[in-house]
Amino acid sequence: MPYYHATWQRHLPSIQKHGLGGAMPDRQNFPVEKGVYLATDPVVAISILIEAYIENGDSENLSPPEALEAMKILVIDDTRLHPDLFDIDPNLERQDLTVLYRGVVDITALPVLSVDDVIPPESMSVAEAKSTLRL
């Protein structure tokens, strides 16, 4: 089963060099325990990053369209993960959506998706998007 991790495009060079979780990012999206947060669904992964952007903005002051363009979703092959390093995500009640991984993930040659790959623009009308985001 694949897992998904959403991140900013500017973090990809460091992640490719050190592995996911191998180097501390310039800032955290939320004040949470150290580790790599993985989602079981790419929409959940990107939704969490979108929520962080809405609540906190980003360090580069990107406009919403620029932010969506800069968000990337890593597809993590579960064969690269060690089962003994999985933990329950203490931040969500639903334990089927995300996990906390307490290791470093080698992402060499793994796919990187855009927001449009996960949520195609034509999949939701503007009115539906505004309603979903409570705008």
Q: What pLDDT digit, counting tens, does each position of 78-90 carry?
A: 999 999 999 887 7
Q: Which amino acid is at 36?
A: V
Q: b/e per residue, 14-41, with b = 16+ CB within 10 A?
A: bbeeebbbbeeeeeebeeeeebbbbbee
Q: Which CATH number is 24's domain given?
A: 3.20.170.30
Number of domains into which the chain is organized? 1
pLDDT at 123 (0 to 100): 67
pLDDT in tens, the chain (135 residues): 899 999 999 999 999 999 998 876 655 554 456 788 899 999 999 998 988 888 877 767 888 889 999 999 999 999 999 999 998 877 767 778 889 999 999 999 999 999 999 987 776 666 766 665 555
Domain coverage including residue 52: 3-132
The pLDDT value recorded for residue 129 is 62
